[in-house]
Amino acid sequence: MDSQLVVGIDVGGQTSKLGVVDARGTVLAQTVIRTDTYSEVEPYIAELAEAVKKVIKEADAEGKVRGIGVGAPNGNYYTGTIENAPNLPWGHSGVVEFAKLLSEAMDGLPVALTNDANAAAVGEMTYGAARGMKNFIMITLGTGVGSGIVINGEVVYGHDGFAGELGHTAAVRNNGRQCNCGKTGCLEAYASAMGVARTAREWLELTDEPSVLRNLDSIASKDVYDAAKEGDKLALKIFDFTGKILGRSFADFIAFSAPEAIVLFGGLARAKEFLLAPMEEAMNANLLPLWKGKVKIVFSQLKESDAAILGASALAWEL
């Protein structure tokens, strides 16, 4: 049997994206279902399995799929479970035997599961900017800040499967912002899309500096990006501030694993023309001399529309 195809599933808080992928990283067919319309996991798994079977048929891949890879919030690679995922309506409390349930619904097809940032790291190593790299750190800049750490070609999972929560390391030690995780000063509270919007709102209240952002009833990170593209000075300062916080944190991460590169992915990474220079400046200013100028900051090469599916699918090649 030709088993040179896999299925990738990205489970998000609102939607789940899934598709059939070949060994070159081409998404042959894909679809989206809702995640947030179910309060119980069983009916969600049933719809997901039906969607997987449908997309396999659309790709003319029946009998050709070797396995399914899943990236999900709080996904545990060791156990195949999703544990206490607050943004999943059916997974916010307790342990969900996700891989087992999905495999059963797919007539025994093997399923590998990890968290979404680790899936992105595997995807980047398999298909993207980290091909050929054995040591790198993946940072996902979206609603939050996720991370996947790769050392000697292997994702670091830790003893319990949850290693790599770099978004919840302290970026600001004194009087830091409250983070959704319950801690204060987390990198995520400053360098995520949510954090950028929060910086904008705070600075608009604290200063009288003119800005097109003052004309908006509500502010999202995209508004700050659009303003920066127009040359808005306050928006440019916000990205400079955000980039420097990221760069300082990167210097700490480098001291841990000495990566070849930091790879950035996610919606906020689209603002690279405003983030890259302050990130590199702050990172190198805070590195020990032996690492200065040696670690690259690179941006994902995966097509944004396919990236979540590709990242998850890469797990399935190991099955």
Distance from C-alpha of 318 to C-alpha of 64, rounded to nearest angstrom = 16
Contact (CB, 8 A) for 83 and 74:
yes
- The model's pTM: 0.88
Integer CA distances (angstroms), 30 to 7, 46, 51, 190, 308, in order: 9, 17, 9, 34, 11
What tokens were used for 119? 């899936």
Separation between Cα atoms, residue 109 and residue 68, nearest integer Å: 7
**Structural domains of the chain ordered from first start:** 5-123+305-316 (3.30.420.40), 132-299 (3.30.420.40)
**Residues counted in the chain:** 319
Mind listing the pLDDT tens digit of every residue in the chain (319 residues)?
Answer: 457 999 999 998 889 999 999 999 999 999 999 999 999 999 999 999 999 999 999 999 999 999 999 999 889 999 999 998 877 889 877 899 999 999 999 999 999 999 988 998 999 999 999 999 999 999 999 888 999 999 999 999 999 999 999 999 999 999 999 998 889 999 999 999 999 999 999 999 999 999 999 999 999 999 999 999 999 999 999 999 999 999 999 999 999 999 999 999 988 999 999 999 999 999 999 999 999 999 999 999 888 768 889 999 999 998 8
